[in-house]
A and B are shown apart, each in its own frame.
Chain A
Amino acid sequence: MSAATPVQQKSVTASKDAPAWTHKDLVGLEDLTAAEITHVLDTASAFKDVGTREIKKVPALRGQTMVNFFVEASTRTRVSFELAAHRLSADVINMTASTSSLTKGETLKDTALNLQALHADIIVLRHSSAGASKFLAERLDASVINAGDGAHEHPTQALLDTFTIREKLGRIEGIHVAIIGDILFSRVARSNIHALLKLGARVTLVGPSTLVPHEFEQMGVKVTHDLDSVLPDADVVNLLRIQHERQRKEYFPSLGEYTSLFGLTKQRAERLKPEALIMHPGPINRGVEIDSELADCSRSVILDQVTNGLAVRMAVLYLCAGTNPKRG
């Protein structure tokens, strides 16, 4: 990064012992060290101020092109990345599966090579196949940022969750986070597990036995199917969106039964510590995984997550694109 910006100076001051960021891509948090994750969070802290200024823009990625390549549908993640890129003065192109040649049988590799031939500097990929971002990262000179790959990872979501916890509670180490819902199919859960464990938090996974298999325990987390027993001890409850309509019919009988067993109702929420945070990656199913009033209550940081997501994505784009040695 040649253009020294106020942001860059602040980030350097804020963490002068932080290791240099050496990754051109962000594929997953499993591959990062605790120090690297902390470095992203520190950088995001510096970028968060930008959003509160009158001129909400810095020139850090001026002249660079970011392609939002969303093979799987998404609104909030795509918009968040797009806005983050705009705030960094990058040019942005949006591509979806239906507007790309993937529907004509072109392979992901060929589509990506075509984007590279147009000198795209950053490709933000959302894809239904686990490993898709790693696949592209290994084949392209451009920075590849994983915006969700199948049930594998969604690193920027977990970074913004971690950022929000650190911002509200002052630390990650020793915090007990309960992640509740459809863990088996959740990339958000996997990335959160990696980030939280690396930073010294305790993690408990809660949900139906069909959706929280005990294999997860080998990752270093606790697994339980009794939400009530977990709530008094949790500093954070992170509720995942539950899906039943499309593909989960054999995993649990109905949304009603799910809510009765695993929904965060007002009554259940009384078991929480007073200072416990309620989080949700969105979009919320009001009345299913969370009572509507709770989503809007003072302990809910759901909208803070969205705001912080912007700062975290700015930090990730800035760090990856700024340290990409392959970019011409």
Chain B
Amino acid sequence: MTTLITNGHIIDPANGIDRVGDVYITDGKIAKIDLEGSARHVEKDETIIDATGLVVTPGLIDLHVHFREPGQSAKETIATGAKAAAAGGFTSVVCMPNTAPSVDSPSVVTWILEKAKAEACVNVFPTGAITKGIAGEELAPIGSMRKAGIVALTDDGHCIQNPEIMRRALEYARMFNLTVMDHCQDYALVGKGVMHEGYWSTVLGLPGWPALGEEIIVSRNAQLAELTGTAIHCQHLSSGGSVRILREARSRGVPISGEICPHHIALTDESIRTYDTNFKMNPPLRTQRDIDLLIEGVADGTITVLASDHAPHCSYEKEVEFDQAPFGILGLETEVGLFLDILMHKKKAISLARFVAMFTIEPARLLGLDRGTLSVGAPADITLLDPDREWTVDKEQSFSRSRNTPFQGWQLKGRAVRTIVGGETVWSS
């Protein structure tokens, strides 16, 4: 059984490919990349996908999603989250462990992997909690969870406050070659903050979440990564100051990296004027100055990974008083459009090849996943992009169980048009 994706613009940053060609898939793996325009010998059971005018990339990876299972299936399930991922162009996702119960034991890891195998149309890679119950106090059984199949550690949604516990966790994680991903938030500084501390929080009378609350933990993490040698990946960076800290540490070779999410470069804290809880996420929307510095960080390579922080919540949970609403918004189906539109089309901060790298080989290398390339023999996870296609966000078309997006009605340029996992098309527009 062979599939041929023909005449597409192949961009495979891992192999330095950026030109028109054909991709052959056999038995769910990449069989051949033909850039020479060789005459084809058509097999009788061959499926041909015409990619003329499209971009063919390794399957995109989102290393920051919340699929809510086990325990919160009213918000999202592994099955619905995976469909949303496919519709956004993603062939692999890394899901966060703040479920109910949290992923802090090998049995929950196994449960997620079995559920994903049975129900998910994309690859689902689980992470494990660093500490039991994501409580920041005692180490979770990291070695056992590694054996069960976690790809990284994180207490996402929470942040280990005690630097001694964080230090020992990093030292311990090194044995298993696990990257530690951190949600950077100092609880004392942030307090009950629900939006960026600044002019708009002052006017609106909402408790402020100062940028310092993130920066001080990024700073701590840079020092701990340097001390322990364990890679720390700072999740969903929102503050321009965090980029500066990251840039300085990386220039000295400290194993620290960072990701940004589309909302943090698409929206400012002024959006909260209407008290619409679809603009409430953690960390919060910040200022235009922060947006400019985050984009600068993407352009100069300080920020290496793009991700969604896809965080579904039920309408009835979000439709409450602003300070009482849960943090987070949907992301999987809008992020390719938002990032292409902002980073490539509007700001011209990165090339299409760099965009693809930030969604493929960068996250794959960071976590040691055997994905993100079109190398011969690799799993045939492939995304077809139309980087110039204009489209309008319609949340009612979403595959997610939830509808919490601030981007309803936005007109974007660029999107995925087909998603192929293990050689099979799991979604096409």
Contacts and interface: CB of A to CB of B under 8 A. Distances in A.
A190 B319 contact: no
B322 interface: yes
Given A129-B324, A131-B321, A150 B206 contact: yes
Interface stretch (A1-9, A74-82, A215-223): A215-223
Contact of B204 (A109, A131, A216): A131
B42 interface: no
Given A135-B320, A184-B202, A219-B202, 10 more contacts: A30-B203, A129-B324, A130-B206, A131-B204, A131-B322, A132-B321, A151-B205, A151-B206, A190-B203, A216-B202
Interface string A215-257: 1101100000000000000000000000000000000000000
Nearest to A193: B203
Interface string B318-338: 011111100000000000000
B149 interface: no
Interface string A124-152: 00010111101100000000000001111
A131 B202 contact: no
Interface of A: 30, 107-109, 127, 129-132, 134-135, 149-153, 184, 187, 190, 213, 215-216, 218-219
Interface in B343-401: none
A134 B319 contact: no
Contacts of B206: 130-131, 150-152
A108 B321 contact: yes
Interface in B136-173: none
11 contacts: A107-B316, A108-B320, A108-B321, A109-B319, A127-B321, A130-B206, A131-B322, A134-B275, A150-B205, A151-B205, A190-B203
A131 B319 contact: no
A153 B319 CA distance: 21
Contact of A215 (B198, B323, B324): B198
Given A132-B321, A215-B199, A152 B316 contact: no
Contacts of B198: 215
Contact of B323 (A107, A150, A190, A218): A150
A219 B324 contact: no
B262 to A, nearest CB: 25
A107 B275 contact: no
A215 B322 CA distance: 21
B36 to A, nearest CB: 62
Contacts of A151: 205-206
Nearest to A185: B205
Interface of B: 198-199, 202-206, 274-275, 316, 319-324
A134 B319 CA distance: 12
Nearest to A216: B202
A216 B204 CA distance: 11
Question: Main SS of chain B's interface residues?
Answer: helix
B202 A149 contact: no
A211 to B, nearest CB: 12
Contacts of B324: 129
Nearest to B206: A130
A135 B205 contact: no
A216 B205 CA distance: 11
A277 to B, nearest CB: 26
A219 B198 CA distance: 12
A87 B319 CA distance: 35
A149 B205 contact: yes
B202 A213 contact: yes
A129 B202 contact: no
Nearest to B201: A215
Contacts of A187: 205
Contacts of B199: 215, 218
B204 A129 contact: no
Given A129-B324, A218-B199, A152 B204 contact: yes
A130 B323 contact: yes
A123 B206 CA distance: 23
Nearest to A150: B205
A189 B187 CA distance: 28
Going nearest first, the 8 A-B pairs with the smallest beta carbon separation are: A131-B275, A151-B205, A152-B205, A129-B321, A130-B205, A215-B202, A131-B322, A129-B323
A219 B203 CA distance: 8
B322 A130 contact: yes
Nearest to B316: A107
Contacts of A131: 204, 206, 275, 321-323
Contacts of B275: 130-131, 134-135
A30 B273 CA distance: 11
Contacts of B319: 107, 109
B397 to A, nearest CB: 25
Given A134-B275, A215-B198, A107 B203 contact: no
A129 B203 contact: no
A6 to B, nearest CB: 39
A213 B206 CA distance: 14
Contacts of A190: 203, 205
A108 B321 CA distance: 8
A134 B199 CA distance: 20
A127 B324 CA distance: 12
B201 to A, nearest CB: 8
A132 B321 CA distance: 6
A151 B192 CA distance: 13
Contacts of B202: 184, 213, 215-216, 218-219
A134 B206 CA distance: 14
Contacts of A150: 205-206, 323
B321 A135 contact: yes
A215 B316 CA distance: 34
A134 B320 CA distance: 11
Contacts of A153: 205
Contact of A107 (B205, B274, B320): B320
Contacts of A149: 205
Nearest to B274: A134
Nearest to B200: A215
Nearest to A27: B275
B186 to A, nearest CB: 14
Nearest to B323: A129
